[in-house]
Amino acid sequence: MWTNSHIVHLPSCERTNREEMEVAQNTWVGAAPQKPSPYLSNRGNLIRDFTGILREGFLLYHKDKHDEKDNPNGMINLGTSENKLCTDLLSERLTQADMFHIEPHLLQYADWKGRNFLREEVARFLYDYCKAPRPLKADNVVTLNGCTSVFCCLSAVVCDPEDAVLVPTPFYGMIKKHFILYNNVKLVYAHLTSEVSAADENPFHLSVEKLEKALQEATQEGARVKAIILINPHNPLGDVYTSTEMMQFLEFAKRHELHAIIDEIYMLSVFDERTTFQSVLSFKKLPDPQRTHVMWGISKDFVASGMRVSCLYTENQDVISAIGELASFHGVPGTTQYQVAQLLRDRDWIDQVYLKAHRNRLREAHHYVVNELRNLEVPFLHRPAGFFVWADFRKFLKEETFEEEINLWHHFLCEKILICCGKAFECCEPGWFRIVFSDKLPRLQLGLQRLRKALQQLEENHQCIGP
Amino acid sequence: MWTNSHIVHLPSCERTNREEMEVAQNTWVGAAPQKPSPYLSNRGNLIRDFTGILREGFLLYHKDKHDEKDNPNGMINLGTSENKLCTDLLSERLTQADMFHIEPHLLQYADWKGRNFLREEVARFLYDYCKAPRPLKADNVVTLNGCTSVFCCLSAVVCDPEDAVLVPTPFYGMIKKHFILYNNVKLVYAHLTSEVSAADENPFHLSVEKLEKALQEATQEGARVKAIILINPHNPLGDVYTSTEMMQFLEFAKRHELHAIIDEIYMLSVFDERTTFQSVLSFKKLPDPQRTHVMWGISKDFVASGMRVSCLYTENQDVISAIGELASFHGVPGTTQYQVAQLLRDRDWIDQVYLKAHRNRLREAHHYVVNELRNLEVPFLHRPAGFFVWADFRKFLKEETFEEEINLWHHFLCEKILICCGKAFECCEPGWFRIVFSDKLPRLQLGLQRLRKALQQLEENHQCIGP
Ligand SMILES: Cc1ncc(COP(=O)(O)O)c(C=O)c1O
Ligand SMILES: Cc1ncc(COP(=O)(O)O)c(C=O)c1O
């Protein structure tokens, strides 16, 4: 029932030394599947062997992190969607006196859905920052340790094992893991491509027609599709849907009685001032409110992925109650709940200090990276949001296959630059890569230097990346 | 596949007013199963409706908490296994300057198994406090947000759906939920009773014979038993196994190729100085090290159930890797990991301040409660560990049925005293209750006054608890 269809075979890097080779064999995507463990169940073996390009790259980076002083030849990570531009501001805020307050009840068991004070603060925060037409209710909020867990819980309660969920590709690839590991829910894809037409000049553009077609095909093939995932602002594309578009997608979901799982984790990371993000929570009327579930968290917009705090907003009390049961596995420390409530409450800091810097720094870093890509003659999508640029390396592939894409990824890794290839996002066209730009300038510079070098080498000597 | 066989029908409390009745109907065990939600999957509906006596009592308490000033007639909770005796010491320690330190990496994604610094600290801590014969290895440690999550992960990776795990009853009843909700693993029981014989004068005493018999019966009935759960010190009995006993249980597990899941969450809560607790990690040689998995956490021994930090120690690297994948759903904030590492490192405080007070206060509270039980002529097991007394209320039942036990539980609730009945621990003999004593004296006094009143009423007027 669990499948492991994502394994890709990876040729070894000719230029690595023995030690690196060992790392490669143990951890890279495409390492031959391990021998089943006699100690694990079938499920346990599939869980152990479940890996993916995003995670593998991340592990590889952690074995050989770049550090200016201690490891200048270590890996530069422009592969993990993390924001390192405002860590200074957040650290400063989190070490202010008001954060260090411990009441006994924070150390005790409490409502697994999250403490009231936090759920109320989240409801107020979303009301203001999503510009909701009516105050939002704490009763509609569940707080969990990461959107990772929100996906996991939602898939458990709206799907049965082997049900399916529709998602446009490319998409944040970890979601696949969130749906399958515990819950054995599969994803079916609406593939977007770079192809444009006179009617639609926007590459990788999502439309209702594409959703209808994908749903119809999946259903014909026997999939029991129960939900659709919509990421807005989008990872990895950086797209922001207009409210008209989003409304159409929600109408589509309603028509087919699909739950709409809306991931707005990048909602405050729109750095282009000409673009306005419109949260689903800002809509006056939702087509199917009982099947509309919105998630957000502090991992991206508050550069706090290590804090593990996120929330789900839904009017559906059955979903809230069911997730309330599962929430015992996804609890956030009382003390952390307190800190996050303090953070979200501090509107002066958020508006006057944090968000301004957050967006400015994103804009500058984006500007730097897209300029460099232009210099490198790497085409890319110019988008207003997120931490990454979706870039087109197709011309550097010997042929347009995923094997070649992985080879190119591997070649970059040999040059100690981690970016993520399209396969990690289930993109159907080989050759696209996501480059994260939300890092400090010196690291971006070094990363792009290495990228340049890697591309130059390719032009000089194709055999580096051959098997 | 998921079943909901734990629902018991509860008569309404004649003495409650309308408002309380509503609460009762919505939340008490025995509230008629809700109508299936059209928005949830079958699994989702079963998850939503999964409830239990422990959780129901807890929710009820949270709706009407006793507070000396604000709600003196509110519920006294001697039902949740939580320690409120040393919260002052822990709060004080957690607000010392060394705790408020934020390095950027604490705010970022990291190894889901737990950060190295914490896993190393846990390994050192367990090495010292479990008196391990050899240093323990950080590589054998996974840290997760609660033993709740450790149970969940273990059941996912050592069992397939509908596999079974053997557990002696009574036992900490939530485990049932931890095994079934995500993973659909069922428990099979080795029932212990109060019956004693010349050969064994110890009521509810676990022996290998009882395990063998239960395993054989379960297997004959078609159960695929993959593991055994051993809680030591035991919840709810307060028993501490001798190392000879534990070794026999481990030999039994080895004989049948069962994983031994050892829950030592109360390991530092042995308050009777004549008793020495021997951790499985102190054994020179384990019968089947690759199938022996030990968990511990700070919820009980460091009175920090709201912090959500626990660990698993196992030499089995397949189990570690598989749980490492699942751990993304059970992450602990980087900042909390840092604080817990600081806490575990501070041996002066632990040894000179904390543990002494912890044990003394437990001992005193235990002493008070067992004396009161003697005065009330309620028999109980006198045990050296844990936060609770296992007490025999059989003579207060009109007949020895679980319906009558629930009636009695309900009668106590009417008197605003929450203690947990044996059914919550799957005890096979009706009439036993677990009374938590790890609370401040004024609350214990009020709780026991109410218990006395409730028992007196019973003697005067049995009809209060009839349906
Ligand atoms: C679109 C999207 N959703 C969810 C997540 C996971 O968020 P969390 O850190 O809250 O688990 C990510 C992280 O990269 C993401 O990009
Ligand atoms: C024996 C036992 N194991 C595990 C737990 C749950 O621990 P945690 O708070 O770490 O999830 C409890 C809590 O009551 C317990 O009594």
The pLDDT tens digits of the residues spanning B414-426 come to 999 999 999 999 9
Indicate which ligand has the atom closest to the C-alpha of B266. Answer: 2
Give B-chain residues touching A115 at CB under 8 angstroms.
none
Indicate which ligand has the atom closest to the C-alpha of B230. Answer: 2
Ligand 1, atom 4: closest residue by C-alpha: A147
The pLDDT tens digits of the residues spanning B90-122 come to 999 999 999 988 999 999 999 999 999 999 999
User: Any chain A CB within 8 A of the CB of B310?
Assistant: no
The pLDDT tens digits of the residues spanning B153-165 come to 999 999 999 999 9
Q: Judge if the beta carbon of residue A232 lies within 6 A of ligand 1.
A: no
Decide: B395 and B406 in contact? Cβ < 8 Å: no
E strands present in B145-272? 164-169, 186-191, 225-231, 259-263
Q: Which of the listed CATH numbers 3.40.50.720, 3.40.640.10, 2.40.50.100, 3.40.50.1820 matches domain B106-347?
A: 3.40.640.10
CA distance A263 to A146: 12
Give the pLDDT score at A459: 85
Residues within a 6 A CB radius of ligand 2: B 81, 146-148, 172, 231, 235, 263, 265, 297, 299, 305, 310
Decide: B407 and B399 in contact? Cβ < 8 Å: no
**Testing the interface with A: which of B43, B113, B176 to mutate, by most A Cβ within 10 A?**
B43
Give the pLDDT score at A462: 59
Q: Is residue B137's pLDDT more than 60? A: yes
CB contact under 8 A, B47 and A95: no
Domain locations along chain B: 15-87+350-460, 106-347
Helix (H, G, I), strand (E, B) or coil at A160: coil
**Closest-CA residue in chain A for B320?**
A48
CA distance B172 to B234: 8
Rg (CA), chain B: 22
Residues paired with residue A367 on neighbouring β-strands, in sequence order: none
**Testing the interface with B: which of A85, A90, A107 to mutate, by most B Cβ within 10 A?**
A107
CA distance A455 to A376: 9
- Structure token pair of residue A429: 């066209």
Give the pLDDT score at B24: 35
Write the CA distances from A323 to A290, B32, B181, integer angstroms.
Answer: 15, 20, 11
- How close is the nearest chain A Cα to the Cα of B201, in Å? 37
B33 band by pLDDT with thresholds 50, 70 and 90: low
CA distance B81 to B438: 8
Cβ contacts of residue A243 below 8 Å, gap of 6+? Answer: A278, A282, A283
- How close is the nearest chain A Cα to the Cα of B118, in Å? 14
Q: How far is ligand 1, taken at its centre, from the CA of residue A265, in Å?
A: 7
User: Any chain A CB within 8 A of the CB of B383?
Assistant: no
Helix (H, G, I), strand (E, B) or coil at A95: coil
Query: Taking chain B, what is the end-to-end CA distance rounded to the nearest angstrom?
Result: 33
List chain A residues with pLDDT less than 50.
1-32, 463-467
E strands present in B332-419? 388-392, 417-418
CA distance A10 to A56: 12
- Structure token pair of residue A73: 């030849």
**Closest-CA residue in chain B for A34?**
B318
CB contact under 8 A, B334 and A80: no
**Which residues between 103 and 142 in chain A have a beta carbon less than 8 angstroms from any beta carbon of chain B?**
103-111
CA distance A339 to A118: 9
Give the pLDDT score at B3: 39
Determine the atom of ligand 2 nearest the C-alpha atom of B149. 11
Query: What single-letter DSSP state applies at residue A65?
Result: B
Residues paired with residue A77 on neighbouring β-strands, in sequence order: A418
| 3-class SS shares of chain B: helix, strand, coil, % to 5 | 45, 15, 40
CA distance A232 to A425: 15
**Closest-CA residue in chain A for B226?**
A41
Asked casually if ipTM beats, i.e. exceeds, 0.90, the reply is: yes
Q: Is residue B50's pLDDT more than 90? A: no
Counting beta carbons within 10 angstroms of the beta carbon of residue B282, is it exposed (0 to 12), middle (13 to 18) or buried (19 or more)? middle
**Testing the interface with B: which of A310, A328, A354, A439 to mutate, by most B Cβ within 10 A?**
A328
Decide: A283 and A251 in contact? Cβ < 8 Å: no
Decide: A316 and A164 in contact? Cβ < 8 Å: no
- Structure token pair of residue B366: 């235990």
User: Any chain A CB within 8 A of the CB of B157?
Assistant: yes
- Structure token pair of residue B409: 């539980």
- Stated as kind and residue range, the H or E segment containing B4 is none
Q: How far is ligand 1, taken at its centre, from the CA of residue B427, in Å?
A: 43
CB contact under 8 A, A109 and B148: no
Domain A15-87+350-460: state its class: alpha beta
CB contact under 8 A, A306 and B177: no
B54 band by pLDDT with thresholds 50, 70 and 90: confident
Give the pLDDT score at A72: 95
Residues paired with residue B293 on neighbouring β-strands, in sequence order: B261, B314
- Among A154, A164, A173, smallest CA distance to A231 is for A173
B14 band by pLDDT with thresholds 50, 70 and 90: very low
- How close is the nearest chain A Cα to the Cα of B365, in Å? 19
- Among B288, B171, B177, B159, smallest CA distance to B223 is for B159
Q: Mean pLDDT, chain B, as a whole number?
A: 92
Best residue for ligand 2 mutational test, from B78, B152, B299 (most atoms within 8 Å of Cβ): B299
A43: left (phi over 0), alpha (psi -120 to 50) or beta: alpha
Same fold across A15-87+350-460 and A106-347:
no
